[in-house]
Amino acid sequence: MKKLGKYVVIMIAAFLMVSIVGCSQEAATDKKEEKSIDTAFIHDLEKALEKRWKYIDDVDNGKKVVEDDSEYMEELLSFEKELYDYLDKDFNDPKLKAIATDYLDGLKAQEESTKYYNVDFIKYDELWSKGYNSRSTSLLKLVEEYGLDLNEEQFKDLKTNAQIVKKENKITENIEEMVRTINFTEVKTEYDWTTYNTTLENTSGADLESFSIDINFFDAEGVIIGTAYAYHDNTWKAGQKVLFEFETDIQEFEKMEWEADYYIAESE
């Protein structure tokens, strides 16, 4: 009985050891699989872009001949289509997943744009530019934060565009914050016309052109019952304060809401 008990103990110990090793290996495999989704996306994106850029070079150098622009764009976009599979993958890094999704959404926008190339060029240009901006900003993040290895010469234009978009997005955020701080004050009422004004500082970080504040007046039921405009026609320098003023004959209203319309002055 003592020997049998000893063997039982040994067998149980051996079983537990195998189970622990098995669980450890399984956990390590799961961890490896989680990491492999992240690294595989970076790897596959690098290879897809290499093919895309080689195709561009081949067309530019006359090694490949295309019949028309539609054929060129269709082929250009084909090299990255397999990356769409990653939209359904579980990335280990949620931030990387978000950047990958932004990139692929940009690719989809460019793919969608080709449908309008010969029928609505404005729509085509809008979608293509939207996709280009999304792709370029995503690539810059992947290069800077995740070590995406790209040909510097091929990436140059995309990188420049990403930096411009990043700057413009920051300016837009600043302007949205400026607009949220607006508080129109009633100044006077004469002959049933009321004057309102506000002083606003340009904290956008950029010079602005033709800055207009479009005001809507709402009744108690949320219906727009009138509009007004306050604007500055000249260049509005960064850091400069401007008085915006408007008049209205609408006396009975529940609230005012407004939004800004503007152009960012070109840098010299």
pLDDT in the model for residue 16? 45
pLDDT in the model for residue 148? 95
* Residue from 144, 137, 142 nearest 163 by CA: 137
pLDDT in the model for residue 22? 52
Distance between CA atoms of 91 and 110, rounded to whole angstroms? 24
* Residue from 204, 215, 213 nearest 265 by CA: 204
Tell me the average confidence (pLDDT) per consecutive run of 10 residues in the chain, 268 residues long: 46 47 49 71 96 93 88 91 95 96 96 93 95 96 95 93 93 95 94 96 94 96 96 94 96 94 83
DSSP state of 84: G
Residue with the two structure tokens 């800077």: 144
* Residue from 196, 192, 201 nearest 245 by CA: 196
Contact between 197 and 241 under an 8 Å Cβ cutoff? The reply is: no
Dig out the tokens for 47 from the structure.
């290879």
- pTM given for the model: 0.70
DSSP state of 259: E
pLDDT in the model for residue 4? 46
pLDDT in the model for residue 266? 80
Q: Write out the CATH class of domain 182-264.
A: mainly beta
pLDDT in the model for residue 35? 54
Distance between CA atoms of 202 and 109, rounded to whole angstroms? 33
Sorted by where each begins, the domain ranges of the chain are: 34-175, 182-264
Distance between CA atoms of 26 and 19, rounded to whole angstroms? 10
Distance between CA atoms of 217 and 248, rounded to whole angstroms? 10
Distance between CA atoms of 82 and 98, rounded to whole angstroms? 18
